[in-house]
Amino acid sequence: MGDVVRHRHFPFRGVVFDVDPVFDNTEEWWLSIPEEIRPRKDQPFYHLLAENAENEYVAYVSEQNLEPDTSDEPVRHPRVAEALAEDGAGGWRVRRDLLN
């Protein structure tokens, strides 16, 4: 968690703050993804504090549709500071005070 990633098909990036080992969303959500890029359900799905040129939001993305973001641009999502702390190496980690 805390990795900065970007979507392979859509123009957004984000910081991973949680992961589901396999798909854990609604069938309606899954079917809303265009068939030609619809991901398999039997893979990890990541919760991202995401951002594009206009907005910040939470995204749910399959592992196959993510790649590392090597831009070194700062993440501007306002909730990053609430959930994550900088790791000292240019990345992020879940804040210790939020771990169970």
pLDDT tens digits for 24-62?
A: 999 999 999 999 889 999 999 999 999 999 999 999 999
Nearest residue to 25 via CA among 41, 9, 14: 41
What's the confidence (pLDDT) of residue 54?
A: 96
Q: Is the pLDDT of residue 68 over 90?
A: yes
What's the confidence (pLDDT) of residue 31?
A: 96
Q: How many residues does the chain have?
A: 100
- pLDDT tens column, 78-94: 888 777 777 776 666 66
Q: Enter the pTM of the model.
A: 0.83
What's the confidence (pLDDT) of residue 14?
A: 95
**Distances in Å between the alpha carbon of 68 and those of 16, 28, 36, 41, 51?**
11, 28, 22, 21, 15
